[in-house]
Amino acid sequence: MPANTTELVKRLWGAADALRANSKLKSCEYSGPLLGLIFLRYADHKFTQAKAKFTNQGSGRGTIGNVDHLAINRE
């Protein structure tokens, strides 16, 4: 992950330019795929956080199992 926002902005604009250049989408049409990628990244981030939390608070086995799932739903 980039250390500063300037580098992040450059990477994001570079990715957007590559998407536009390598597709036949109009500029008003590529927001759908781009927002989908952003959502997938967000979902992956949330899953990673939840997995770490459940592994640390789980049943002590070090893996997430059905028992852990049921325990979390009761909270």
Query: Tell me: the pLDDT tens digits for 34-74?
Result: 788 889 889 999 988 888 887 776 555 566 666 666 655 55
Kind and range of the H or E element at 72?
helix 66-74
Higher per-residue confidence, 34 vs 1: 34
Q: CA 28 to CA 35: how far, in whole Å?
A: 12
Residue closest to 51 by CA, chosen among 60, 64, 39: 64
Assigned token pair, 31: 């927001």
Beta-carbon contacts of residue 44 (< 8 Å; ≥ 6 apart): none
Q: CA 48 to CA 44: how far, in whole Å?
A: 6
Predicted TM-score of the model (pTM) = 0.48
